[in-house]
Chains A and B, each alone.
Chain A
Amino acid sequence: MAHPSTYQPASGIEKWLDARLPIPRVMHDQFLVFPTPRNLNYWWTFGGILTFMLAVQIATGIVLAMHYVPTPEGAFDSVEHIMRDVNWGWLLRYSHAVGASMFFLAVYIHSFRGLYYGSYKAPREVLWILGVVILLLMIATAFMGYSLVWGQMSFWAVTVITNLFSSLDSLIPGLGTTLVEWIWGGFAVGGPTLNRLYALHYLFPFVIAGVVILHIWALHVPGNNNPTGVNVKTERDVIPFHPYYTIKDGFALVLFLLLFAALLFYAPNLLGHADNYIPANPLQTPPHIVPEWYFLPFYAILRAIPNKLFGVIGLLGSIGVLVFIPWLDTSRIRSTRYRPIYKWFFWLFVVTCLALGYLGSQAPDGWYLFFGRVFTFYYFAFFLLIMPIVGLIERPKKLPGSITQSVLGPEASRPAGTPAAPSEPVREGVA
């Protein structure tokens, strides 16, 4: 956004449109010539992958909506009708269901990339917060989408999670119950609930798309971060987005699609739960109510806290705390690559998330509950204690002088003609 546009409309039509609604200019400036650090690694390809997955979910979702029936009597059968009778219905349904899992896999990798390389630090705080907003919207959308199948897991997941709001009764008597009955549209989960979940599930992806546009806009103001965390200093540090990163993102996308296809065509129900092939029965609770894998860590945190209200606060807090990361992390160094102490805490955090995921799938008693509490404690300690404290006391490794230096090596051993070390002063707060 800070660079003058170099777009030259070629034909008469392009000039005409450019003067009225300069979309080709914007596309050119932001996605073709956009100066991008030359040292981005494959962890940076997940943004493009996520955009693709959003398009896949929207496209498959719209066509599924042409056949789905949002009533308790018709929902389960309509999904089976799609699987059996609608042309390519089995492919569309499995794409949408497996696609949701792939979407979350990509968003978690994308988020962990941001955490590791300090992409949330100034001046990218708003970019990070928009990302958290997108994650929240994705969680809500996925939760609602799963309920539409109206299997046993769908029904009871909605019942359990919406019932959590009744914990507000311990704050203000009657508030929680009123809120829950407002959400349900009745005295229990039923037809009105299903219908409104459907309406909102259709709406939210378009809200996500809007926030994604803001997210990319917020990225393009300062430009991309890079694995060294060192700011771009000279022209030699950057390359045009096209063709270098369009082709690299394309390659990474095809690899991602290979995994997607393997699951879709050969194990489409691996990540699902058998109980959701039982039609919803309000009079019979499944022995173990478990959410989809991408919610398991949050589910573990919820159940680790013994008090209902504080469990809900913990659940919401586990995502809410992410908003404050730009200010919790006191390190002046962006990239964990150069933070030898913090690095171990970071990997312990990754292990924590995986462990919480596993524990979320188990019954919360005995050793499972104990470790659930241990890892929940570390989850919050990582953000509230480690990030502020380690940032202040750590002695970081020496940063490279520039991005080009990190790629090509220091000046002395570089062939003549390649850029020297930067002559501009180092910006406060960033090496």
Chain B
Amino acid sequence: MTMTRLTTMTRLALAAFLLALALPGSALAEEAANGHGPAIEAQEWSFAPPFGGYNKGQLQRGYRVYKEVCANCHSMRLLSYRNLAEPSGPHFSPKAVETLAAQAQVTDGPDNTGQMFQRPGRPSDAFRSPFANDQAARAANNGALPPDLSVMAKARPGGPDYIYALLTGYRKVPPGFDLTQGMQYNTAFPGHQIAMPNPLVDGMVPYTDGTKPTVDNYAKDVSAFLMWTAEPKLEERHKVGARVMIFLLVFAVIMYLSKRAVWARLHRRDHTHTA
């Protein structure tokens, strides 16, 4: 059987395979509509395309928003200050990273008397958490636990689209909606009731690079930043991926020609025995 003639079996199997590929996509769309929350609008992100990456300026602004707004309640235990210097991330200078780290007071110890003590942060330290533990966090937030944000962009269907939609999704309660005491109405949050009050206000974080300090930009920038904290190796992955794909494509062509060359002798033998 040659490559050019597809049997019925092969055609049907290919159809089945393509159908199978379509399933995850439909399953995801189904998820969004099937009681998992409203459909989330897709935003444009610099890192979304296969050869895309992060925007350094956006990540730096996003970090500012996280540090000055979100970090008051949300921990980010999986990040260390040294990560802020990564070239495929916010790419802060080493000096800036030392300064940013030193601005935080981290717990260290025990010292020689057995006591824990506070000291300024170093680049090797993990991001300082706002609360010592989950119970303290709940106590300070009416029993609700502000989740850690390190991998939040991968922990929710829709990822950064969802985070952006949530941060810009606070609305007045629609008529007829039964809002529990202490909750806020949000268009993106599953169930539409969220314990977190609207965290963003125009102008609350000063931007120094000319970007407008609006809620929309804050939401965009911090969502991109959270995507980076969840996937710091995205740029490297895309870069290595491009090289691997090109290598494999060329390799596939070479292997196909090799296969043809090896089998040519057999095919020729079959057709050369003439009278």
Residues of A within 8 A of B (CB): 38-39, 41, 77, 80, 83-84, 90-91, 94, 112, 116, 227, 239, 243-244, 247-248, 250-251, 254-255, 257-258, 261-262, 264-266, 268-271, 274-275, 277-279, 287-288, 293, 336-337, 347, 350-351, 354, 357-358, 361-363, 407-408, 415-418
- Cβ of B171 within 8 Å of any chain A Cβ, yes or no, is no
13 additional A-B pairs beyond A251-B258, A361-B23, beta carbons within 8 Å, are A77-B77, A80-B150, A227-B1, A247-B263, A266-B238, A270-B24, A274-B155, A274-B156, A293-B23, A350-B16, A354-B16, A408-B270, A415-B274
Measured CA separation A415–B190 after assembly (Å): 72
- Cβ of B87 within 8 Å of any chain A Cβ, yes or no, is no
Q: A269 is contacted by which of B154, B240, B259 (Cβ under 8 Å)?
A: B154
- Cβ of B232 within 8 Å of any chain A Cβ, yes or no, is yes
Instruction: Provide the main secondary structure of the chain B interface.
Output: helix
Q: A244 is contacted by which of B7, B157, B159, B262 (Cβ under 8 Å)?
A: B262
Contacts of B147 in A (CB 8 A): 278
- Given contact pairs A80-B78, A84-B233, A362 touches B241 in the complex (Cβ within 8 A): no
Are B24 and A293 neighbours in the complex by a CB distance under 8 Å? yes
Q: B241 is contacted by which of A112, A251, A265 (Cβ under 8 Å)?
A: A265
- Chain B interface size, as a band, is 35 or more
Q: B9 is contacted by which of A337, A407, A418 (Cβ under 8 Å)?
A: A337
- B53 CB, nearest partner CB in chain A, Å: 13
- A264 CB, nearest partner CB in chain B, Å: 7
- B166 CB, nearest partner CB in chain A, Å: 14
- Given contact pairs A354-B16, A354-B20, A362-B34, A251 touches B244 in the complex (Cβ within 8 A): no
Instruction: Provide the main secondary structure of the chain A interface.
Output: helix
- Given contact pairs A84-B78, A274-B154, A416-B275, A357 touches B233 in the complex (Cβ within 8 A): no
Measured CA separation A38–B269 after assembly (Å): 13
Are B232 and A84 neighbours in the complex by a CB distance under 8 Å? yes
Measured CA separation A275–B1 after assembly (Å): 46
Stretch at the interface among B104-112, B198-206, B208-216, B247-255: B247-255
Are B266 and A38 neighbours in the complex by a CB distance under 8 Å? yes
Measured CA separation A41–B242 after assembly (Å): 31
- Cβ of B27 within 8 Å of any chain A Cβ, yes or no, is yes
- A249 CB, nearest partner CB in chain B, Å: 10
- Chain B residues 78 to 117 lying within 8 A of chain A, measured CB to CB, are 78, 83
Contacts of B273 in A (CB 8 A): 415-418
Contacts of A363 in B (CB 8 A): 34-35
- A388 CB, nearest partner CB in chain B, Å: 23
Are A250 and B255 neighbours in the complex by a CB distance under 8 Å? yes
- A173 CB, nearest partner CB in chain B, Å: 37
Question: Binary interface profile of B, 24-62, with partner A (CB < 8 Å = 1, else 0)?
Answer: 101100110011100000000000001000000000000
Are A244 and B266 neighbours in the complex by a CB distance under 8 Å? yes
Are B241 and A257 neighbours in the complex by a CB distance under 8 Å? no
- Cβ of B271 within 8 Å of any chain A Cβ, yes or no, is yes
7 smallest CB-CB distances across A and B, nearest first, come from A265-B241, A417-B273, A277-B155, A251-B255, A90-B233, A277-B154, A277-B151
Chain B residue nearest in CB terms to A268: B237
Are B259 and A247 neighbours in the complex by a CB distance under 8 Å? yes
- Cβ of B144 within 8 Å of any chain A Cβ, yes or no, is no
Contacts of B151 in A (CB 8 A): 80, 277
Q: B238 is contacted by which of A227, A265, A275, A358 (Cβ under 8 Å)?
A: A265
Query: Can you report 27 A-B residue pairs in the complex whose CB atoms are below 8 A from each other?
Result: A38-B266, A84-B83, A84-B232, A91-B237, A244-B262, A250-B258, A251-B252, A254-B248, A254-B255, A258-B249, A261-B244, A264-B241, A265-B242, A266-B241, A274-B157, A277-B154, A288-B31, A293-B23, A293-B24, A350-B12, A354-B23, A361-B23, A362-B34, A363-B34, A415-B271, A415-B273, A416-B274
- B68 CB, nearest partner CB in chain A, Å: 24
Contacts of A244 in B (CB 8 A): 262-263, 266
Contacts of B132 in A (CB 8 A): none
Contacts of B271 in A (CB 8 A): 415
Measured CA separation A143–B12 after assembly (Å): 31
Measured CA separation A336–B240 after assembly (Å): 43
Measured CA separation A32–B68 after assembly (Å): 67
- B240 CB, nearest partner CB in chain A, Å: 7
- B74 CB, nearest partner CB in chain A, Å: 14
Measured CA separation A297–B34 after assembly (Å): 20
Are B78 and A258 neighbours in the complex by a CB distance under 8 Å? no
Question: Binary interface profile of B, 1-23, with partner A (CB < 8 Å = 1, else 0)?
Answer: 10000010110110010011001
- A379 CB, nearest partner CB in chain B, Å: 16
Contacts of A278 in B (CB 8 A): 147, 155
Measured CA separation A258–B253 after assembly (Å): 12
- A229 CB, nearest partner CB in chain B, Å: 13
- Chain B residues 137 to 156 lying within 8 A of chain A, measured CB to CB, are 147-148, 150-151, 154-156
Q: A266 is contacted by which of B50, B156, B248, B249 (Cβ under 8 Å)?
A: B50
Measured CA separation A270–B21 after assembly (Å): 11
Measured CA separation A81–B9 after assembly (Å): 46
